[in-house]
Amino acid sequence: MTQDKSFRSAVKAVRIFSSKQMAVTAGFVILVLLGLGACSDNKSKTANNPGSQNSPVATVTPSVAAVSEPAPVIPPKPKNVVHRRPSTATYSDKTYGVSFRYPRKYLLKTGDAVQVEMAGAPVPMNFVQPGGTTLAAVVLPDNSYPGTDFSSAFFNVSVNKGVTLSECGDFMLPTHPDKEPLSPTSIKIGDIGFQEVENATKQSDTKYYHVFQNGACYELAMGLATKDDGASDGVTPVDREDVFRKLDKIFSTVKIKSEVVPEVAKTSDQATEATNH
């Protein structure tokens, strides 16, 4: 009887153990199946999305541009600079300190070629005493006034050291039977005061200006000449005022550098003044 109970208890225990073992085994099997299912799902996802695979990441190395040497600096070619000559030139005489400017296209005469002619005759100096010297002359081009009766025009500078202060204001005008001697007129051009006379005819017009400086008498003259009456038939008369405007532009640039008056000139002038009184 006792053995029978023991046997039953053992059988019962075996059953209980067997049922537990089966439960554990079943649970283990379930876990394995769940694990396999998860792995299958992961493989399926990996197959559908290849980019999600744990493949090695390719390292992209940025390309480095090759460093080239700087191009040599080539200096720009110098531009061809055209140096234009001034439209005017300057005449200057160091001995007598006189200077003036004139258009470069005009003709400057000095030295032996200084003599100026008008109407076929030399232009005379207008000092009351001989011994004058023409320093320079400027002559307008012959074609300055095409289609007119223009013949020539000039501006010149002369000096006479044999003329005193009182004589410098006088002029030795050409003698004309039908004309009375002209009286000089006092004018001022710039800082210089001049005595002026004008001698005008049908074919010429000349103006003379005198000023006494540096112990000498300076004479500035300008004038124009036209063609004779026979050659001017049907030809337009030149605008004399326009010609003199061009000559006046030269005149306005005249400068006479003041120097100490020599004692000889002072003594000569004082003696002349005493004789007149």
- HEC assignment per residue over 81-142: CCCCCCCEEEEEECCCCEEEEEECCCEEEEHHHCCCEECCEECCCCCCCCCCEEEEEEECCC
Mean pLDDT (whole number) for 60-83: 70
Spatial neighbors of 102 by CB under 8 A, at least 6 apart, are: 88, 89, 91, 108, 138, 155, 250, 253
Higher local confidence (pLDDT), 86 or 250: 250
For residue 270, the SS3 value is helix
What is the pLDDT at residue 123?
86
In sequence order, the β-bridge partners of residue 236 are 148
Give the pair of three-digit tokens for residue 223.
């004038």
Share of the chain above pLDDT 90, in %: 43
Residue 59: band (very low, low, confident or very high) from pLDDT cuts 50, 70, 90: low
Residue 207: band (very low, low, confident or very high) from pLDDT cuts 50, 70, 90: very high
Spatial neighbors of 170 by CB under 8 A, at least 6 apart, are: 128, 184
Higher local confidence (pLDDT), 31 or 218: 218
Give the pair of three-digit tokens for residue 98.
């006189």
Tell me how far apart the alpha carbons of residues 9 and 7 are, in angstroms, rounded to a whole number. Answer: 5
Q: Mean pLDDT for the chain?
A: 77
In sequence order, the β-bridge partners of residue 211 are 218
pTM for the structure as a whole: 0.63
What is the pLDDT at residue 65?
55
How far CA 215 is from CA of 162, 235, 240, 259, 273, in Å, comes to: 9, 47, 35, 9, 15
Higher local confidence (pLDDT), 266 or 229: 229
Residue 218 has pLDDT above 50, yes or no: yes
Residue with token string 């079943």: 26
What is the pLDDT at residue 264?
46
What is the pLDDT at residue 276?
46
Residue 24: band (very low, low, confident or very high) from pLDDT cuts 50, 70, 90: low
Mean pLDDT (whole number) for 171-181: 65
User: In this structure, which topology does domain 88-276 adopt according to CATH?
Assistant: Jelly Rolls (2.60.120)
Residue 104 has pLDDT above 70, yes or no: yes
Residue with token string 């531009």: 79
* 186 close to 194: Cβ distance less than 8 angstroms: yes
pLDDT tens-digit readout, 117-136: 776 778 889 999 999 999 99
Mean pLDDT (whole number) for 53-60: 53
Spatial neighbors of 138 by CB under 8 A, at least 6 apart, are: 91, 102, 106, 107, 108, 109, 154, 155, 156, 250
Alpha carbon 186 to its chain's center = 41
Spatial neighbors of 64 by CB under 8 A, at least 6 apart, are: none
Comparing 58-72, 168-182, 186-200, the range with the smallest average pLDDT is 58-72
What is the pLDDT at residue 137?
96
Residue 271 has pLDDT above 50, yes or no: no
Domain regions of the chain by residue span: 1-33, 88-276
